[in-house]
Amino acid sequence: MRYAIAALLMVALLAATPASADVLLFTFENITRNHQPDADTGQAQLLLGVAPVEDGRVRFTFSNSGPDACTIGLIAFENPNLLGDLVDVLDGNNGGVPGVAFGLDKKVRNLPGGNSLVVPFHEAITFQAHNPRPHKGVNPGEWVSMDFQLAPTRTLEDVVAGLSEGWFRVGMHVQAFSSGGSEAFITSGPAAVPEPATLALLAGGSVLLIRRRRTA
């Protein structure tokens, strides 16, 4: 299952990222546990892809592989002097997935469950899906990307190390589960991905499936 999820995200990232870029994948863990089946769904379906893009920027891509119902409605970044200026949000308004629409949130909102962690989650940069959120958020089979310049002297390696070691975290509030509930998640570390040949085969099959659906 995890291989298939990684392959689907790779297909989305390859559509939005220069072909030469290396995409690194990170998983999420649930922090609210309102309803265990919903927590399991989110942990199985949600991934973060991190890739370098032109001019020293870093692209963060959030995907929901499906098939179970849930919608990413809010994305929150901690910023331990790591991220610089926001450059772009790649969503349905500017060439991303039609129907997905996110905007920078000028208010610093508390991520549900974030204050209950051993090290509380203190978000500095948040994005919200436009209303109606269940339709404009990231639903199964969709994704959204944010491009940032890094702070001076910071590098992609710092971003990867922070996400891997837990001193830089990204959180999400996810709603519209089939139960009607919502859950919050934070990054939990690198995702296990298949060997390149296996991933290429999976991604190729996903592309073929997409083409067949478009021509159906």
- pTM equals 0.85
pLDDT, residue 18, reads 55
Q: Contacts from 156-159 at CB under 8 Å and sequence distance 24+?
A: 156/50, 156/52, 156/58, 158/82, 159/50, 159/58, 159/82
Residue-wise pLDDT for 197-211, tens only, equals 444 444 443 343 333
CB 64 within 8 Å of CB 139: yes
Give residue 115's identity as a one-letter amino acid code.
Answer: N
For range 162-186, the mean pLDDT: 97
Q: Which residues pair with 105 in a beta bridge?
A: 126
- Select from 123, 90, 87, 125 the least CA-distant residue to 106: 125
pLDDT recorded at residue 5? 54
- Looking at residue 12, its pLDDT comes to 55
What per-residue confidence (pLDDT) applies to 1?
54
In this predicted model, what pLDDT tens digit does every residue of 91-118 receive, in sequence order?
988 878 899 999 998 777 789 999 999 9
More confident site: 25 or 22 = 25
Q: Given a cut of 60, is residue 177 above it in pLDDT?
A: yes
CA-based torsion, 147, 152, 158, 163: positive or negative: negative
Average pLDDT, integer, range 19-26: 72
Q: CA 38 from chain center: how many Å? A: 17
pLDDT at 207: 40
- Compute the mean pLDDT over every residue in the chain, rounded to the nearest whole number: 83
